[in-house]
């Protein structure tokens, strides 16, 4: 049993609901004991640091203060929240001028005993991979996927300390373990447009269109992601709200492979209907 603090983030109550639900279910199935960060607050998203750089560090730091009190590392599923919490931790660990400003604003001293980890990292590095493989009841045979990491997990590497920023493999390897056919492609870490999908939809559509086209050229029938913002953009940000390949959260595919009972309810929340593809491949009954 692994005990860890869990930071859900605001999208867990909205656009990323199925990601949060599947993340918690997969962790439970693998014996990871999640304790929600008590009274967590918004990490500031992709907005607070653009309004004020110190605010964009102090907001996530308050959550670190709470986790420190509980004495537990913080697991984050959302790539955006992960990035912001890591920025706060990185800044506090460096202990320069900004660190003092953040600590003063939040009213705590960071003792450097806890750290922020991404869900993908925990499931790939802290969980016994042999045991994970034995959990696979329904291998994802025949499912050709392109793994899309986006920006926030990998960059900048000194802050996110995640994987190779140009060609990350964590998600690819995890999907291979589930039995999926992972297609190599070179657009893994390109930008999906982030919040431009709201403020400059035409611009975000151009980026999304290119990503989908490249995934298709690579021979993928679906994309896999670890970020609610990327997932929403990749499915809803297509010109004219067009159809095409679905975009899964990696935890949903883990749920499918582990035959977790709620998998279909998560998939039912998608903008692009993914079940017919899975039915064609006989991956759902």
| Residues lying near other proteins in the complex (CB under 8 A) | 10-11, 13-15, 17, 39-42, 44-55, 58-59, 62, 97-98, 101, 104-107, 151, 155-157, 165-166, 189-191, 193-196, 198-200, 203, 207, 236, 241, 268-269, 271
Nearer to other proteins, 193 or 274 (CB): 193
Nearest approach, Cβ of residue 112 and other proteins (Å): 21
Helix, strand, coil percentages (3-state) for the chain, rounded to 5, are 50, 10, 40
Nearest approach, Cβ of residue 128 and other proteins (Å): 32
Nearer to other proteins, 143 or 152 (CB): 152
Nearest approach, Cβ of residue 271 and other proteins (Å): 8
Nearer to other proteins, 9 or 177 (CB): 9
Nearest approach, Cβ of residue 177 and other proteins (Å): 28
Question: Which regions of the chain does DSSP assign to beta strands (E)?
Answer: 2-7, 32-36, 74-76, 116-118, 144-147, 181-182, 222-225, 247-249
φ, ψ for residue 149, nearest 5 deg? -95, -25
CA dist list (Å): 139 to 7, 27, 146, 147, 179: 30, 19, 17, 17, 5
In 3D, which of 216, 201, 88 has the Cα closest to residue 148? 216
State the sign of the Cα–Cα–Cα–Cα dihedral 34, 21, 151, 165.
positive
Nearer to other proteins, 170 or 175 (CB): 170
Do residues 120 and 81 make contact, with C-beta atoms less than 8 angstroms apart? no
Nearest approach, Cβ of residue 69 and other proteins (Å): 12
In 3D, which of 42, 40, 6 has the Cα closest to residue 21? 6
CA pair distance 93, 112, nearest whole angstrom: 7
Nearer to other proteins, 154 or 180 (CB): 154
Nearest approach, Cβ of residue 231 and other proteins (Å): 11
Nearest approach, Cβ of residue 1 and other proteins (Å): 28
Residues in the chain: 285
Nearer to other proteins, 206 or 284 (CB): 206
Nearer to other proteins, 39 or 111 (CB): 39
Nearer to other proteins, 91 or 143 (CB): 91
CA 100 to chain CA centroid, nearest Å? 30
Nearest approach, Cβ of residue 160 and other proteins (Å): 9
Report the side by side order of strands in the sheet with 2-7: 32-36, 2-7, 74-76, 116-118
Question: Which regions of 82-194 does DSSP assign to beta strands (E)?
Answer: 116-118, 144-147, 181-182
């Amino acid at each position: 049993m692994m005990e860890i603090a869990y930071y859900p983030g605001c999208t867990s109550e909205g656009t990323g609901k199925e990601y949060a639900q599947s993340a918690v279910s997969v962790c439970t199935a693998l014996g990871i004991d999640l304790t929600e960060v008590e009274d967590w607050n918004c990490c500031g998203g992709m907005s607070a640091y653009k309004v004020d750089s110190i605010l964009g560090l102090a907001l996530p730091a308050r959550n670190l203060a709470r986790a420190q009190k509980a004495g537990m590392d913080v697991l984050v599923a959302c790539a955006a929240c992960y990035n912001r919490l890591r920025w706060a931790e990185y800044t506090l660990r460096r202990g320069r001028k900004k660190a003092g400003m953040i600590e003063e604003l939040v009213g705590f001293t960071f003792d450097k005993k806890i750290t922020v980890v991404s869900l993908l990292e925990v499931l790939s590095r802290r969980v016994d991979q042999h045991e994970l493989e034995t959990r696979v009841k329904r291998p994802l045979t025949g499912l050709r996927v392109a793994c899309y990491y986006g920006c926030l997990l990998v960059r900048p590497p000194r802050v996110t300390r995640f994987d190779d920023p140009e060609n990350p493999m964590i998600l690819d390897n995890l999907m291979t373990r589930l039995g999926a056919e992972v297609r190599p492609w070179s657009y893994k870490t390109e930008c999906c447009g982030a919040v431009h999908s709201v403020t400059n939809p035409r611009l975000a559509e151009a980026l999304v269109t290119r990503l989908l086209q490249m995934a298709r050229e690579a021979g993928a029938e679906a994309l896999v992601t670890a970020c609610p913002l990327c997932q929403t953009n990749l499915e809803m940000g297509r010109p004219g709200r067009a159809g095409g390949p679905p975009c899964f959260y990696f935890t949903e595919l883990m749920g499918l492979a582990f035959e977790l009972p709620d998998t279909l309810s998560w998939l039912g929340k998608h903008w692009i209907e993914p079940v017919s593809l899975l039915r064609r491949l006989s991956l759902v009954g």
